[in-house]
Amino acid sequence: MIHEPAPPLLTLASASPRRRELLSLGGWTFALEPASVDERPEPGETAEAMAVRLALAKARAAAGGPGRLALGADTVVEHRGEVLGKPGDAGEAQAMLERLAGERHRVVTALAILGPDRARPAIEVCVTDVPMRGYTAAEAAAYVAGGSSLDKAGAYGIQDDGFQPVDVGRLHGCFANVMGLPLCHLARAMRRLGHPAPADVPAACRAHTGYDCPVYESILRETA
């Protein structure tokens, strides 16, 4: 007997390969429908409010379809009260990285999940305090020259092994959040919506990132 593949449960409103690879770890079926929204902050907007607003806008822009949920995600980097978005060019990326070197900043990711009726979105917000190592300007320049910093908020990726800008040994929080998709927060929201993860999310995340997460149990224990 030939079994037809299960129809997608989720529509991911993102073109990010990092979000795609993380979402696949949970075992949910999903389709991709990247959403383009204006990501400029509004006057006086907090990092949390901005992330939620943009995640909702992305989810609303994605087609749910019968029985399908739309997932929007937005990640905001905040350093000393200022939001750092994706750099516009190599010079801006270099400036961001030099500013963050040896300092701590916050990474805020909001998730918004909408059902087919677009009513009562499920919202999750994850905040991680990120310690950066004291890399040199030359190290940052070599990384920027590779081009990968331009599509990332704050101009870096925690998963970029060649540069390794984050002092992971001093990190106490969600690694996947800094990549752009806090998996345990997503698993918690999907469980509330009646779609628990088919996979062991903490184990899959640890295997994928190599990070021994100290916070997953407390996240999954909570109901909201």
- Cross-strand bridge partners of residue 73: 111
**Residue 100 to residue 22: CA distance in whole angstroms:** 25
Give the residue from 126, 128, 127, 124 showing the smallest Cα distance to 189: 124
Residue 129 falls in the annotated catalytic set? no
Q: Which of 38, 74, 117, 161 is catalytic?
A: 74
Q: Is 169 exposed, middle or buried (0-12, 13-18, 19+ CB in 10 A)?
A: exposed
3-state secondary structure of 78: strand
**Residue 192 · residue 224 · CB < 8 Å:** yes
- Cross-strand bridge partners of residue 112: 72, 123
Tokens of 47: 């990092």
Q: Report the relative pairing of strands 10-12 and 69-79 from DSSP bridges.
A: parallel
Contact between residue 10 and residue 31 where contact means Cβ atoms under 8 Å apart: yes
Q: Could you identify the residue written with the tokens 């224990």?
A: 221
* Catalytic residue numbers, as ranges: 74
